[in-house]
Amino acid sequence: MRMKIVVLDGFTLNPGDNPWDDIEALGELMVYDRTPNDEIVQRAIGADILLTNKTPITAETIAQLPNLRFISVLATGYNVVNVAAAREQEIPVSNVPVYATDAVAQHVFALLLTLIHQPTLHDQAIRDGQWQSRGDFSFWLSPLSELRGKTFGIIGFGRIGQAVAKLATAFGMKVLAYDCSKQQAAFSEGITRAETIEDIFRLSDVVSLHCPQTASNTGLIGATSLSTMKPSALLINTARGGLINERDLADALKEKRLAGAALDVVSAEPISADNPLLTAPNCLFTPHIAWAAREARHRLMAGTAANIKAFLSGRPINVVGE
C-alpha cells in the first residue's frame, strides 16, 4: 500500500517551475500551496509522511496524527517542528542541510554591492532627467567605495559562511570570522579567526550574519553590539530575522550610527506594516529570497525525495536532533 504524503506549504518550493514528480513517484501525494494554522490537522490527518517548510508542526498537532511516521522539512532550519515531541512518538524528522549555499552567498554580495553602488537610485535619476540636466558626463547621488582592503566580518562559519568568505577574498577583502558552533570550523588561509564576537563588531566594515537563531542569540544585533560598530559599517542578514533587535537597528540607522543595512529576513514574515525598519534610511530589503534560486530549489526537491526514499528503506538520513 502506497504511503500518503502531504505537503502543507509547497508554493515557495514549486511555484510552477519545480515539479513534484520525484516525490509523487514515492506515494500518494497531496500538495497544498499554503495551510492556515487552523487547518493543519484537518489536512494532515491520515498522512504517513508530512512535508513542511514554515507551517508549524507542534506537539499538539503531532498528538492528533496517529498515522504520522515521518516528517521532512523543506528547508535547512527545522525550528517549525517540535522535534522532541516527534521523537517521543518515534517519528524521525529530517531536513535538507545542503542545497542553497551558493545561492545565499551570491545574494549576500548582491545586497552588499547594491548598498555601496545604489544602481536603482541612479537608474531612476537618469529616467527623471537628472543626467541631462546636470550637464556632466558623470554624477553620483550616494557615496561610492571599493571593497578591496576592507574587513568583512562573518558571524557563523558553517558552509554558507565559508562560501561567503571565498567571495569576499575574491574582492580583495580581509575576512574576519567568528564560529558560533561548538564544532571547530575550517579556517582556511587568508581568513582570520575572531577571538570574540565583539572583535567582529568593532573591526569590521561589513558584518554578515550566518548563524542559526537560538534562544541565546536572539537579538544579538542590538543596542550594545551596534554601539561598538563603525558608523561607516554595513550590516547584512540572510540568516534569521530574530537575530536583530529591529527597533535598535532602526534607531542606529536614523541617528547615522550605522551607514546601512540589507536584510533578506525579518522577525515576522511577511513583514508587518509597523516594522520600524521600513522607515529607516538606507535599509534595503528582499523578501526572504536568498535561498530561492531555481537551481537551489531543484536541489531542495531532490534532497527531500532522497530523505523520503531513505525513510522508506528503513534507513532515514539527515535526521535532526539526534
What amino acid positions are annotated as catalytic residues?
Answer: 240, 269, 288
Beta strand 191-193 with 206-209: parallel, antiparallel or unpaired? unpaired
Beta strand 283-285 with 260-263: parallel, antiparallel or unpaired? parallel
Please report the pLDDT score of residue 95 as a whole number. 98
Please report the pLDDT score of residue 110 as a whole number. 98
For 223, the grid coordinates are 543596542
Residues of the chain scoring pLDDT < 70? 182-186
User: What's the CA gap between 20 and 13, in Å, rounded?
Assistant: 10
The verdict on 108 and 209 lying in the same domain is yes
The verdict on 95 and 112 lying in the same domain is no
* H or E segment and range at residue 59: helix 59-63
Contacts of 157 (CB under 8 A, 6+ apart): 165, 177, 178, 179, 180, 181, 185, 187, 210
If one counts the domains in the chain, the total is 2
The verdict on 228 and 109 lying in the same domain is yes
Contacts of 205 (CB under 8 A, 6+ apart): 150, 151, 152, 153, 230, 232, 233, 234
The verdict on 169 and 253 lying in the same domain is yes
Please report the pLDDT score of residue 139 as a whole number. 97
Q: What DSSP state is assigned to residue 22?
A: H
The verdict on 166 and 187 lying in the same domain is yes
The verdict on 299 and 272 lying in the same domain is no
Please report the pLDDT score of residue 241 as a whole number. 97
Q: What DSSP state is assigned to residue 236?
A: E
Please state the pTM of the whole predicted model: 0.94
The verdict on 58 and 158 lying in the same domain is no
Question: Which burial class, exposed, middle or buried, applies to 38 when counting CB atoms under 10 A from its CB (0-12, 13-18, 19+)?
Answer: exposed
The verdict on 185 and 45 lying in the same domain is no
> Of 145, 178, 138, whose CA–CA distance to 161 is shortest?
178
